[in-house]
Amino acid sequence: MHIAILTNEYPPHIYGGAGVHVEYLTRELVRLDGGTHQVTVLCFGDQSIREGNLTVRGITPSGPPIPTQDPRHQKFMDPMVRDLLMAGALPPVDIVHCHTWYSHLAGCLAKQLTGAALVLTTHSLEPHRPWKAEQLGTAYHASTWIERTAYQNADGVIAVSESMRHDVASLYGVTHERIRVIHNGIDLEQYHPQRDPSVLARHGIDPKRPYILFVGRITRQKGIIHLVSAIQHLRPGVQIVLCAGAPDTREIGEEMTRRVEAARRDRPGDIIWLAEMLPRSEVIPLYAQAAVFVCPSVYEPFGIINLEAMACGTPVVASAVGGIKEVVLHGTTGLLVPFEARGTVDFEPRDPDQFAHDLATAINELLDNPARCEVMGKRSLERVQQHFSWTTIARRTADFYRELVQKR
């Protein structure tokens, strides 16, 4: 088959789980069946790669930005211009596989222009991310419309969890026959227990004291503000390492700064905030040497970040939301914290103070029992090894492609 992958993120420009998914899925697709499939990736950026059966082309508009009344609309208009360029650049293909709304317009156009089957992967859904209005203004309504239109026109949909299968069907009316659940995966050659005291020393982490770890963007979705609120309830002696950067908006970045400064006044020397996005070579040892990894997300279609921590042999405390419940086994590989949302589309906790307290209670429960943490860490690694291989995920994805091509 000739497969086209349309995406915002592709190495070296990756900032979220969708980009990680695309990177590893593409790597495995080009290896399948003796490398007989042609894979073309069109992405946002300046990439230019041609290696065997893989072609990668970054798409960057050459003209000036489109004038808008609201500066926030540029974050919508720029992807739309890139999508038009993508649609015009695609050769004849069998499959057009799009990742996130950023590439959906290109996918819809390419389906009509090439006759290919259109596939979408549900990394997230706009109606469940109302905080995006902070970034896009009223263009949030346009991004939601683009996404809805794409799902209504897709030949096949890959849901990264059973939770996402339900959401796609209920929000956009996609029939279950068009949806295939294929989980995200993890590269076990990269992510495995790697202890490196020099990484701790470089970032000022005391190796003699346990630390909990957060890794992710500063965004409402990832719940980082609630974890900072929970710090006041954590037992003494624990360090809190926050690998948190790339704030969605200036406002949430400023709120994060205020909250961390206030927490530091009560716990001097305990909070280490690494605001830059660290390379994998440093993040993996941080995972492996943490006592507990914490994922306080308020909305998470899958939560690939938890797989990364588990593959490094670290137990997880996470919100009991979305696809996380299919990854973290409560009481076996970590603890799930009950989460009650404020509404059906507003995923902030109904009682933020109680949620922060519950997070801290679960973290303290594991910190107070190092032997239990060690057992959970071993079980986490075993679970990832048995169920989340990228090779298996790529095979299932290619089989789904083939079904759709045969139907067309």
* pLDDT confidence bin for 342, thresholds 50/70/90: confident
CA pair distance 396, 23, nearest whole angstrom: 16
Enter the DSSP assignment of 330.
B
Is 356 among the domain residues? yes
pLDDT in tens, 62-75: 888 899 989 999 99
* pLDDT confidence bin for 345, thresholds 50/70/90: low
Enter the DSSP assignment of 66.
P
Do 172 and 295 share a domain, yes or no? no
Do 101 and 241 share a domain, yes or no? no
Q: Taking the complete model, does pTM exceed 0.85, yes or no?
A: no
Do 15 and 41 share a domain, yes or no? yes
Do 42 and 159 share a domain, yes or no? yes
pLDDT mean over 22-28:
95
The per-residue pLDDT for 63 is 86
* pLDDT confidence bin for 139, thresholds 50/70/90: very high
pLDDT in tens, 297-315: 998 888 889 999 999 999 9
Question: How many domains does one find in the chain?
Answer: 2
HSE, side-chain direction, 13 A CA sphere, residue 369: 14
Do 172 and 218 share a domain, yes or no? no
pLDDT mean over 170-176:
94
Confidence check: pLDDT of 346 > 70: no
- Domain of 88 in residue numbering reads as 2-185+389-407
Do 173 and 73 share a domain, yes or no? yes
| Long-range Cβ pairs for the range 396-399 (8 Å, 24+) | 396/180, 396/182, 397/25, 397/29, 397/158, 397/182, 398/1, 398/29, 398/32, 398/33, 398/37
pLDDT mean over 211-220:
94
Specify the CATH number for the domain of residue 363.
Answer: 3.40.50.2000
Report the mean per-residue pLDDT for the chain.
94
pLDDT mean over 288-292:
98
Is 192 among the domain residues? no
Sheet holding 38-44, edge to edge: 48-51, 54-59, 38-44, 2-7, 95-99, 117-122, 156-159, 179-181
Do 274 and 240 share a domain, yes or no? yes
Is 190 among the domain residues? no
